[in-house]
Structure 1
Amino acid sequence: MSAVMAPGVPNRICIVMMSAVGDAVHVLPVVNALKRANPNTRITWILQPAPAALVRGHRSVDEIIIFDRSRGLMAFANAAAQLAKRRFDLVINLQVYFKAGIVTGFTHAPIKLGFDRARARDLNWLFTNRKIAPSPIQHVQDQYFEFLTVLGVAPQPVEWDLGPWPQERQWQRRFVASIDGPIASIVVATSKPEKDWFPERWAVVCDALHEKFGMRVVLVGGRSARELAAERVVMERAKHKPRSELGSGLRNLVSILDASALVLSPDTGPLHMSVALDTPVISLMGYTNPKRTGPYRRFQDLIIDAYGEPGEDYPITMENRAGRMRRIETRHVLDKVQLWQDRYAGTRAR
């Protein structure tokens, strides 16, 4: 049924969002708004190990339950065992897939709020007893805000409070002191090869950032096989070798991105982390729809949109378009760097 609920934020809430880092970043303004509306509410969040490392210790997250999908069926068994001991007033299922539905089914709450049937996929809607109203597809952030609307909670001001937190500032100061110039952080790869840009082109950009813009390049991300392969190509081809901070950890990555004058990234978690930190980010987008998963209401002028055809007013959809990232040439990226220099360079106070 559609959500017919008394407005207000109850005292015990469970968030089901077990997706990747970018989605976790989009959830933070939701939990912050819930806490603003009811500072006494206790928020439990079910999520995967990687995004858990990012949000653990956040002021609005009281408890984390890990769902480690790499463990297969044991991940469900462990989640069921932990949730059997807990009672909630409200469960908010922010995911549209079947696995999130199963975990929602493990929770104990009189109200389980999820997406409307048209947007819930893989029978996910079967596991919730209240639905947000049907709506056209929006930016992911705005879709999450629809859940706040049902509760009578305003999403504004949109706050992430991602950090760096006070105990992380010392590490950040040491990192900044070790680099003799403004930092440009490059995200070398994503979770999907279709979203990646080409490392040989990143190498050209590295040299231009150094030679033309006087910047010091830092490679950031994890240590997956593709990220390490991209790092190797960049290091081999760039005349001015960047510094690699691959595998530094998500909390240190927050400090790096916060200290950066500029971030360059495909559609992946660090792009959205940069937006949350108000760090200018050049977004390289071709596979995913920028209107749905691009930077949220900031740095729209720095998007390189290879998703659409020239002049195409495409709708907001979940459609992916393969093969579009190759359309992005190094000159497109450097044009955006020039735009960043003209509009944003030197404007950030830290």
Structure 2
Amino acid sequence: MPATDLNGARIAIVMMSAIGDAVHTLPVVNSLRAHAPDARITWIIQPGPHALVANHPAVDEFVVFDRKKGWRAYADVRRAVRGRRFDLVIALQVYLKAGLVTALLDSPRKLGFDRARARDFNWLFTTERIPPRGQRHVQDQYFEFLEHLGVPPLLEWGLGPTAEESAKYRHLLPEDGRPTVALVVGTSKPGKEWPAERYARVADALAGDLGVQTMLVGGKSSRELEAAAAIKRLSGHAPLDLLEWDLRRLVYLIDRADVLVSPDTGPLHAGVALNTPTVALMGYTNPKRVGPYRRFHDLMIDAYGDPGEDYPVSAEYRPGRMERITPEQVVEKVELALKRYPRGR
């Protein structure tokens, strides 16, 4: 499609959650900024992912939608954009709350997914839709919006820690000459998670056989805290517990790690964006749709499919398959990552 002239355009992006989706949105905003340096980009987002990207240089303004406020959250958005007209709205999210937010924005051009992929009747809130294409990796689906607009896609995230953040968090992980492996133990869905006792076995094997330091990274949800307690209790070489509700600190720790081990959750995609060698534990969700994007597929453990199965890209969950992943497989992939992707410091 011919390139759309977006120089000087006022662009609103509706992508409110979650952390992984926010990471996938960053190449979109970077591509728009490179294509139209004078555009004004507004991103409507929820507080959690906002903490991850709040100071991103490609975004001029964030409008925070705090869903905990209920209907008042919509009033806050309406107040923030009152009297403003956007030249283009890019509706990347396809659930009802995002559709209602899209409806609040004044714009002659609201670009969204085709009807088949715009669940919750989100196509009702848009005036223009990208062509139908079926399920693809989430990142590729977001790039379809750029293709429709004639904007060259750039696979650049700009997520890394700033110099100030590195100075602020450096004390958390003093250099001691050992490689460091970050372990992500919690996700938004229990079905995605890997058993705590297996993380404990991995931590012991990495420390004993490879001389590796391990650390637990992520948030402090009840399931994460419970898993961390079990891992420390069951490990002879307990990992450093660096769980905290601070996403920029998490970015720093993942960036510092020599290897990241993670199920399908936001930190996995942050690791890929930061080019940290990432061992992805995939079983509950389809790795062709939400696995590591274009990087570290040789490190991925795919328990989603059966041996030899050429499964299609889909949003289908497959419960009970995370348990197929063994500690030995994870240790083998970490060892491969350390050899194949050494990180010069």
- Greater shift, 194-203 or 178-187, is seen at 178-187
Structure 1: distance between partners of 2:335 and 2:175: 26
Report deviation, 1:178: 5.6
Structural mapping, 1:77-88, within 5 Å: 77-88=75-86
Q: For 2:157, what is the secondary structure of its paired residue?
A: coil
How many pairs align? 344
2:272 maps to amino acid:
V
1:305 corresponds to 2:302 = yes
2:270 maps to amino acid:
M
Q: Report if aligned partners of 1:254, 1:273 keep a CA contact under 8 Å in 2.
A: yes
Alignment correspondent of 2:263: 266
Structure 2: distance between partners of 1:275 and 1:333: 17
Report deviation, 1:85: 3.7
Alignment correspondent of 1:136: 134
Q: Report if aligned partners of 1:181, 1:215 keep a CA contact under 8 Å in 2.
A: yes
1:320 corresponds to 2:317 = yes
Alignment correspondent of 2:331: 334
Q: For 1:27, what is the secondary structure of its paired residue?
A: helix
Structure 1: distance between partners of 2:208 and 2:22: 36
Structure 1: distance between partners of 2:214 and 2:146: 39
Structural mapping, 1:150-229, within 5 Å: 150-156=148-154, 158-177=155-174, 181-229=178-226
Structure 1: distance between partners of 2:178 and 2:168: 17
| Residues 1:209 and 1:101: Cα distance change in structure 2 (over 3 Å) | same
Report deviation, 1:77: 2.2
Structure 1: distance between partners of 2:42 and 2:313: 31
Structure 1: distance between partners of 2:245 and 2:103: 36
Q: TM-score, normalised by structure 1?
A: 0.95
Report deviation, 1:243: 0.6
Report deviation, 1:76: 1.9
1:134 maps to amino acid:
P
Report deviation, 1:5: 8.1
Structural mapping, 1:1-350, within 5 Å: 7-10=4-7, 11-156=9-154, 158-177=155-174, 181-247=178-244, 249-344=246-341, 346=342, 348-350=343-345
Structure 1: distance between partners of 2:5 and 2:319: 43
Query: Cα RMSD between the aligned structures?
Result: 1.5
Report deviation, 1:84: 2.1
1:109 maps to amino acid:
S
Structure 1: distance between partners of 2:100 and 2:174: 48
- Greater shift, 283-292 or 82-91, is seen at 82-91
Q: Report if aligned partners of 1:113, 1:128 keep a CA contact under 8 Å in 2.
A: yes
Q: TM-score, normalised by structure 2?
A: 0.96
Q: Report if aligned partners of 2:268, 2:280 keep a CA contact under 8 Å in 1.
A: yes
Structure 1: distance between partners of 2:146 and 2:28: 7
Q: Report if aligned partners of 1:180, 1:216 keep a CA contact under 8 Å in 2.
A: no
Cα-to-partner distance string for 1:132-185 (whole Å, 9 max, x where unaligned):
0110211000000000011111113x1001011122121243334265522100
Structure 2: distance between partners of 1:242 and 1:72: 39
Report deviation, 1:80: 2.2
2:196 maps to amino acid:
P
Report deviation, 1:87: 1.9
What stretches of structure 2 of length at least 5 have no aligned partner?
none
Q: For 1:217, what is the secondary structure of its paired residue?
A: strand
Q: For 1:295, what is the secondary structure of its paired residue?
A: coil
Structure 1: distance between partners of 2:293 and 2:40: 27
Structure 2: distance between partners of 1:327 and 1:20: 27
Structure 2: distance between partners of 1:85 and 1:332: 57
2:58 maps to amino acid:
S
Report deviation, 1:331: 1.4
Q: For 1:95, what is the secondary structure of its paired residue?
A: coil
1:349 maps to amino acid:
G
Q: Report if aligned partners of 1:44, 1:62 keep a CA contact under 8 Å in 2.
A: yes
Structure 2: distance between partners of 1:64 and 1:214: 44
Report deviation, 1:335: 1.9
What percent of counterpart residues are identical? 55
1:68 maps to amino acid:
D
Cα-to-partner distance string for 1:72-107 (whole Å, 9 max, x where unaligned):
222222222222243211100001111111000000
| Aligned structure 1 segments of 4 or more residues deviating by more than 4 angstroms | none
2:96 maps to amino acid:
F
Report deviation, 1:190: 0.5
Q: Report if aligned partners of 1:8, 1:152 keep a CA contact under 8 Å in 2.
A: no
